[in-house]
Amino acid sequence: MRNFFLLMFIFSFIFAFNILPNPSFEIWLDTLGVKMPFGWLTSEILRESSAVKSTYAYSGNYSLYLRGEDTLAFAHTLTIVRPNYSYYFFGFAHCRTFISGSFSFYFLDSLFNLIGMPIVIPLYFSNNYREYARWFTAPNSARFLLVSLIALPQARIYFDSLTLEDTSLNVIKEGNSLLKGAKKFKKILILKEKKFDYKNCYSPLGKKLRTPFLKKGIYFENPLH
């Protein structure tokens, strides 16, 4: 178990500020004949072909394909969170059936006891990959976050390109989809209450926010718009 958490810790640095391991399901392991994405525990250990590697990817080479039959199909991973800090999740799913599933999040304390009610993002039928996103704040006693990808019985769902960011980080990561440096920001917005109708705002990580709704926190405004 110690070695597992050490690997998870190292792996988190590979994906910089994304605190989910193997978020695009590019790395798969074969353990005693059961293939699973690195850093994830799937229903494949219980039912063959319920959670498999697919080349139908939103980005990269592979995605995770969950096939619910008489029982649901799932994939779970665990990451460390900080109490009272805000997190931003976004990910892509293609639900091919009207019976769907969800992204589900469970905050746990240091003894792995569930805190409060889970956060559930329901999935919907679509013709291709669709983006889902949600802001949430870790409870006071939270130490871990269990992230679950769920396909209900008879559902067929692809998952890919998942991101979970600690919004308190004040580093701007460079990348094709990010701003290339702090000098492009016109002003810093410090919100002490929830606001609506802010446009062209960016998180402290440099990612453009995909919603006009902003929670309390620090944001950047792009002068180019």
Same domain, 145 and 194: no
Same domain, 7 and 72: yes
Domain termination residue (choose one: 166, 194, 211):
166
Residue 18 forms part of a structural domain = yes
- Split at pLDDT 50, 70, 90, the class of 9 is very low
Q: By the 8 A CB rule, do 62 and 25 touch?
A: yes
Helices and strands, counts by H and E, the chain: 1, 15
Residue 43, helix vs strand vs coil: helix
Residue 142 forms part of a structural domain = yes
Same domain, 128 and 207: no
Same domain, 79 and 190: no
pTM above 0.85, yes or no: no
- Split at pLDDT 50, 70, 90, the class of 167 is confident
Distance separating alpha carbons of residues 51 and 128, to the nearest angstrom: 19
pLDDT at 17 over 50: yes
Residue 172 forms part of a structural domain = no
Same domain, 216 and 151: no
Same domain, 32 and 131: yes
Same domain, 114 and 213: no
- Split at pLDDT 50, 70, 90, the class of 168 is confident
- The range of the structural domain enclosing residue 105 comes to 2-166
Same domain, 115 and 202: no
Specify the number of domains making up the chain: 2
